[in-house]
Structure 1
Amino acid sequence: MEPLNKKIEELTTHINPVDDNKKPFKPTSAFVGASWIALLVGVVGYCIGLWNATMELNEKGYYFVILLFGLFSVISVQKSVRDKVEGLPVTELYYGLSWFATLAAIILLIIGLWNADLLLSEKGFYGISFILSVFAAIAVQKNTRDAKLFKDEIL
């Protein structure tokens, strides 16, 4: 097991932008822009779908809260994973709760859509816009952190 741990340690030091005099890469403006656009398209599309939906207000609230919960939880997971890679302290409790919250948001959305009296195309729309939103939130968080590391390295 020791050789495997050594190999993992070697790999993580190469991807760690803070170690070994490696300079962090500044995210390209194209990737930053694409990430923000994807986030806006996903969130705005999801919310427009909810606004125009013919469901009860409490159902709309449920799906909106699931979106907010999912966005927060994936950002928390991304930050925890990145902190661990960079050697910053992260408690296992917070790390585990972040993953639990992410999975809970996805599972709650699936259960809600499974039991909803919606057309299959509407269910697909909410699922795809949710996944687009959470993926884009991870990319935006990554870009924000990379840009800050790059800026701190320059100054």
Structure 2
Amino acid sequence: MEPLEKTNEENLSKTKYDGNGRSPFKPTGAFIGASWTALLTGIVGYCIGLWNAGMELNEKGYYFTILLFGLFAVISVQKSVRDKAEGLAVTEMYYGLSWFATIAAIVLLIVGLWNATLTLSEKGFYGMSFALSVFSAIAVQKNTRDAKMFEDKNI
């Protein structure tokens, strides 16, 4: 006896993705807005914390550089992972370097906070605003790519 409905995998392959494994759906305005709001909240909160911190300028520069490095690294990982999933060419060197940069940024933040003479609440604040920033950067990049793909497909 055959099942009446197709499996989820068959349904996804026919309805959610086109022939190249790409999603033709445009992200909703609410998801785009929430992603950008989270990104700006994380970055602005992190920077306000640095501005008001009672640390040396070189320490502030270190933490700011880690934020920028982390944001670039996670966007690079998201792009290379998605490119590979869609069958686009991604060199193993770039793929590996983007993962290395992401892990390095996280480790550098952890080591910096571990050795910092900050209160535990300040360390938690920087860790959480960093995490919010990098996660939302991934979502913003995904939304941007999905919207562009949708636009290209429907022109």
**For residue 6 of structure 1, what is the aligned residue in structure 2?**
none
**For residue 61 of structure 1, what is the aligned residue in structure 2?**
61
Please, which runs of 5 or more residues in structure 2 have no aligned partner? 1-8
CA gap 1:39/1:21 in 2 versus in 1, 3 angstroms: closer
Residues 70 and 101 in structure 2, CA contact (< 8 A), matched pair in contact too: yes
Give the Cα separation in 1 of the matches to 2:13 and 2:56.
52
Equivalent residues in 2 for 1:1-150, closer than 5 Å: 14=13, 17-19=17-19, 24-150=24-150
Percent identity, aligned pairs only, is 75
Scaled by the length of structure 1, the TM-score of the pair is 0.88
Pairwise CA distance, 1:17: 3.3
Pairwise CA distance, 1:22: 7.2
**For residue 4 of structure 1, what is the aligned residue in structure 2?**
none
CA gap 1:23/1:99 in 2 versus in 1, 3 angstroms: closer
Give the Cα separation in 2 of the matches to 1:136 and 1:104.
19
Give the CA RMSD over aligned residues. 2.0
SS of 1:118's partner is coil
Give the Cα separation in 2 of the matches to 1:129 and 1:66.
12
Scaled by the length of structure 2, the TM-score of the pair is 0.88
Please, which runs of 5 or more residues in structure 1 have no aligned partner? 1-9
Give the Cα separation in 1 of the matches to 2:136 and 2:79.
14
Give the Cα separation in 1 of the matches to 2:84 and 2:119.
42
Structure 1 stretches of at least 4 aligned residues deviating more than 4 Å after TM superposition: 20-23
- How many residues are matched? 145
Q: 1:32-68 CA deviation, whole Å, 9 max, x = no partner?
A: 0000000000000000000000000000000000000
CA gap 1:151/1:55 in 2 versus in 1, 3 angstroms: same
Give the Cα separation in 1 of the matches to 2:21 and 2:111.
48
The code of the aligned residue for 2:153 comes to E
